[in-house]
Structure 1
Amino acid sequence: MTIVTAAWLIVVAGFWGATNPFIKRGSKGIESIKESSPFKQFIAELLFLITNWKYLLPFLINQAGSVLYYITLASADLSLAVPITNSLTFIFTAISGHLLGERIESKKTIIGMLLVVCGVTLCVLDKIS
């Protein structure tokens, strides 16, 4: 794995993690949709989401991250690609949520995030050297 591939995987994690809190916020209100049948419920919820730019824009950015992930997998070591993107997605989600006003409840969470970054760094350094 090259440093460039690792950087692209970090970008993917950023796309996924940064958009998660926005997708959550954009989907607020969907729980109040009530229809008479499961099919009508599905259609009403789908229309709610695809006509709501606060949901749709972060969702499309998130999906662009998925396309980039798929492209990057061609040159990535799979045993590193999955842990890098999944663990760093958690960190980007926590940071984005915090920037939007969500609280990080515990110092243990911050310590865990730092340990994840250290672990990912060690894994990448091991593979590129």
Structure 2
Amino acid sequence: MHEILSLVVVAFLWGATNPFLRQGSAGIERVHSDSKITGFILELKFLVTRWQYIVPFLLNQSGSLLYFFTLQKTALSVAVPIANSLSFVFTALVAQLLGERAASKNVILGTILVAVGSILCLIET
């Protein structure tokens, strides 16, 4: 049971941070340089100096760390589909809450199907 809760937390950390990462990286397209290397460094500097990007990034990476430790005690056949599919659900929900876009019927149906599929995977464990 502890592993399942950990996977849900991982999915939340991965999914819920995606819309914030998108918002935090807004404006990176305006960073230009003649050199690819200089452009990369300028883009990296742009991201690293924005708390709006760094905070969600660190939360997202903490989800990856939790996932690493959870995988040591959980079957891959359960961990991978649950964490990855539920992260899409959390991304859709948080994006909706932030007003990024209205959820279409396909997004709502997909979210329900993913949740049902995840529940079925959990029932089998």
TM-score (norm 1): 0.93
CA distance in 1, matches of 2:95, 2:8: 18
The reply on whether 1:29 has 2:20 as its aligned counterpart is no
* Contact 1:17-1:90 at 8 Å conserved across structures: yes
Structure 1: which 4+ aligned runs deviate by more than 6 Å? none
The reply on whether 1:77 has 2:75 as its aligned counterpart is yes
CA distance in 1, matches of 2:110, 2:69: 30
In structure 2, the residue matched to 1:115 is 113
* Contact 1:20-1:93 at 8 Å conserved across structures: yes
- Backbone CA RMSD of aligned residues: 0.9
Number of residue pairs aligned between Structure 1 and Structure 2: 125
Q: Which runs of 5+ in 1 are unaligned?
A: none
Give the CA deviation at 1:108: 2.4
CA distance in 2, matches of 1:20, 1:124: 24
CA distance in 2, matches of 1:57, 1:115: 31
Q: Which runs of 5+ in 2 are unaligned?
A: none
In structure 1, the residue matched to 2:5 is 7
CA distance in 1, matches of 2:21, 2:106: 26
The reply on whether 1:102 has 2:100 as its aligned counterpart is yes
- Equivalent position SS for 1:12: helix
Give the CA deviation at 1:104: 3.4
The reply on whether 1:67 has 2:65 as its aligned counterpart is yes
CA distance in 1, matches of 2:117, 2:2: 18
Quick one: which amino acid aligns to residue 56 of structure 2?
P
Q: Deviations over 1:78-117 (max 9, x none)?
A: 0010000110000000000001002234212212211111
TM-score (norm 2): 0.96
CA distance in 2, matches of 1:88, 1:19: 13
Same amino acid, percent of matched pairs? 51
